[in-house]
Amino acid sequence: MNIIERKDTLDPFGRIGGQRKSILDEERKHYFIQNASRQIPLFVKVHKAWTLMLIKQEVISAERGKKILEALYRIDERAITEMIQNWDPSGWEPMMQLERYLTAKIGQIASDVNIARTIPPPFYRMELADLLIGLIEATISFRKILLKNASAHVSTVMPGYTHLQHAQPTTYGHYLLGFFDAVDRASLQVEQAYSKTNRFELGCGALSGTSFDIDRQMPADLLGFDGLVEHSNDAVAATDFIVDCVAALTNLMIPLSRVANDLDIWSSFEFGMVEIADHLTNPSSMMPQKKNPAIFEICRMALGQILGSFGEIVCSAHAVPYGDVIEMRELAFKIHPTIREVIRVFALMGEGIDTLIVHKEMMLKHARAGFSTVTELAALLYREANIPLRMAHGIVAEVVRTCLAEGRLATEVSPELVKQAALKVTGKTIRIDSDPLESALDPSRFVEVHDSQGGVAPSEVNRMIKVRDKDLTKTVERQAKRLEKLHEADSELNRQVERILNSRGK
């Protein structure tokens, strides 16, 4: 049996099975047109680094290498336009269009840039790494907004909820800081995902490496990579950096979806604790009274896209051959819109939180009305009257029941009421004074004394904010170093190219 039977398959690149007319042509051309101005400069950059290495290792002659570098050096927007105009289906891969162009300019030697390489790497990793840089940036801005607003609201007392029921008083500042911690951990994962993504695979051949005497580290350095994917089949088969990106996005978006949903609930008429700034609201075409906090819905919804992205990647990678298959490249591209959406959502949500109108008086009102301070009453009974915790709970429960039956608020609990409840539950008379009782039941006071490590007391929240602020500065520095490293690699690459272009001799 012959794999290839017909004669007419020789394409301009001399490959068997060449492309001619195909139902895929139109979309491939469209893809090239859409992406050329972003991708071609990337290809050129990598070609330069690779060529410099091939020259240094004497895999190609200095003469050929110089010609190639000259041609690469001259590629500009006009050249890209030319490639688009001359798009040819036979070399449908965008990089093949570049090769066609170079060949037209300097002849067949242009193809020598492909020595010991296969196409997809390292472009998809570079593009992904670039997006991650943007995402890190977005999370830094967002975290600054959270810290700022947490700081502004360390004393903004509100009910704390568990199971959406009043549990213990908290502050809006403490709430935001908890959110900060979750975003902070997830952002660290984005940095780790960047570091895993930003590895260089070139030189892996198709999967087996090469018999040419190449140096993989040199181009990796010139392109600002953080290291190699060493094993030549691992280099074309790996998916973990993609999974890591989506996992980090998930950890960013789960808390964000929940906080957005909380703010949506708190914006309801019944809660009335916060209000979206006018410029972010959606009006209704039908209901004149509406002021929909739509951005919270938009932000909440984005988690679904992340999950969808994860499902797409994992399912597409299931049971496919372990090595280079078309899924490997496509999956790396497929998460681009997902990352862009998360960057957008962080901008929206940051703006939403930073301009949020916080109705402090309503927050406090709910906190006063809702019996969320009574764990402190139990603590008081334990401390002052030495009553075991569960029995103290029994007394408090009795107090709450009485209040509810009589329509009294938590702030209306009297020493007498507590004594009666204690008598009923324990059979004994206890002593309790007015001052500590009032103090225990006041949400603002509650917040102040809950100063255990990580707790809601303004002093403790301020302490935590300071620590996190310092940590965030370090994050900002790491990001600056990351950008600097890329910038320096770029400069060094250009220096080396120019040195050769300026060298005399052939």
Task: Please report, as residue ranges, which positions from 42 to 101 form the binding site for a copy of itself (by CB under 8 A).
Answer: 92-93, 95-96, 99
d(CA 337, CA 131): 10
Q: Which of the stretches 75-83, 199-207, 412-420, 478-486 binds a copy of itself when contact is defined by CB under 8 A?
A: 199-207
How many other CB atoms are found less than 10 A from the CB of residue 32?
A: 20
Nearer to a copy of itself by C-beta: 37 or 283? 283
Nearest approach in angstroms of CB 22 to a copy of itself is: 5
How many Cβ atoms sit within 10 Å of the Cβ of residue 474? 9
Among 104, 107, 416, 495, binds a copy of itself (CB under 8 A): 107
Segment interacting with a copy of itself (CB under 8 A) among 32-40, 71-79, 128-136, 179-187: 179-187
Which of residues 69, 214, 222, 343 is near a copy of itself by CB under 8 A?
Answer: 214
Region of 42-50, 140-148, 369-377, 495-503 interacting with a copy of itself (CB under 8 A): 369-377
**CA dist., res. 126 & res. 201, Å (int):** 11
Question: Rounded to an integer, what distance in angstroms lies between the CA atom of residue 120 and that of residue 123?
Answer: 6
462 binds a copy of itself (CB under 8 A): no
Q: Using CB under 8 A, which of 51, 139, 168, 197 touches a copy of itself?
A: 168
Residues 6+ apart with CB under 8 A from 43: 94, 95, 98, 123
Shortest distance, position 127 Cβ to a copy of itself, whole Å: 18
Measured from the CB atom, is 93 or 416 closer to a copy of itself? 93
Candidate residues 394, 458, 472, 500; the one interacting with a copy of itself per rule CB under 8 A: 394
Pairing of strands 274-275, 357-358: antiparallel
- What DSSP string runs through 225-253? -S-B--STTHHHH--HHHHHHHHHHHHHH
DSSP assignment string, 142-186: HHHHHHHHHHHTTT-EEEEEETTEEEEEEEHHHHHHHHHHHHHHH
Query: Which of residues 141, 268, 434, 491 is near a copy of itself by CB under 8 A?
Result: 268
Tell me the closest approach of the beta carbon of residue 184 to a copy of itself, in angstroms.
Answer: 10
Of 36-44, 45-53, 141-149, 392-400, the window that binds a copy of itself (rule: CB under 8 A) is 392-400
Tell me: does residue 194 bind a copy of itself (CB under 8 A). no
Q: Return the C-alpha torsion angle 379, 384, 386, 390, nearest 10.
A: -20
Per-position x/- string for 241-260, each x denoting binding to a copy of itself as judged by CB under 8 A, each - no binding: --xx--x--xx--xx-xxxx
CB of 74: closest distance to a copy of itself in angstroms?
19
Q: Among 45, 48, 125, 216, indicate the residue that binds a copy of itself (CB under 8 A).
A: 216
Amino acid letter for position 475: T
Q: Does 226 bind a copy of itself (CB under 8 A)?
A: no
435 binds a copy of itself (CB under 8 A): no
Please state, in angstroms and rounded to a whole number, the distance separating the CA atoms of residues 94 and 280.
41
- Where in 137-166 is the site for a copy of itself (CB under 8 A)? 159-166
Tokens of 105: 């300019």
Stretch that binds a copy of itself, among 38-46, 78-86, 201-209, 493-501 (CB under 8 A): 201-209
Q: Is the dihedral of CA 385, 389, 390, 393 positive or negative?
A: positive
- Residue numbers 294-353 binding a copy of itself by CB under 8 A: 294-295, 297-298, 300-301, 303-327, 330, 347-348, 351
Closest approach, Cβ 41 to a copy of itself, in A, equals 19
Residues sharing a CB contact under 8 Å with residue 420, sequence separation 6 or more, in sequence order: 402
* Contacts with a copy of itself, 480-499, as mask; x by CB under 8 A: --------------------
Dihedral (CA of 407, 412, 417, 421) sign: positive
**Residue 17 in contact with a copy of itself, rule: CB under 8 A:** yes
Closest CB 323 distance from a copy of itself, rounded Å: 6
Which of 39, 139, 156, 170 binds a copy of itself (CB under 8 A)? It is: 170
Selected from 290, 466, 481, 499, the binder of a copy of itself by CB under 8 A is: 290
Q: Residue 9 phi/psi, 5° resolution?
A: -100, 5
Give, for 423, the enclosing helix (H) or strand (E). helix 415-426
Handedness of CA 165, 168, 170, 176 (dihedral sign): negative
Number of residues near a copy of itself (by CB under 8 A): 207
- CB 284 within 8 Å of CB 369: no
436 binds a copy of itself per the rule CB under 8 A: no
Residue with tokens 């940095």: 191
Is residue 368 close enough to count as binding a copy of itself by CB under 8 A?
no
Query: Backbone phi, then psi, for 277, in 5-degree steps?
Result: -65, 145
Stretch that binds a copy of itself, among 76-84, 124-132, 137-145, 178-186 (CB under 8 A): 178-186
Query: What are the angstrom distances between the C-alpha of 9 and each of 4, 99, 300?
Result: 9, 20, 52
Three-state SS at 220: helix
Gap between the Cα atoms of 133 and 131, Å rounded: 5
227 binds a copy of itself per the rule CB under 8 A? no
Region near a copy of itself per CB under 8 A, out of 35-43, 117-125, 485-493, 497-505: 117-125
The one segment of 34-42, 123-131, 292-300, 484-492 that binds a copy of itself by CB under 8 A: 292-300
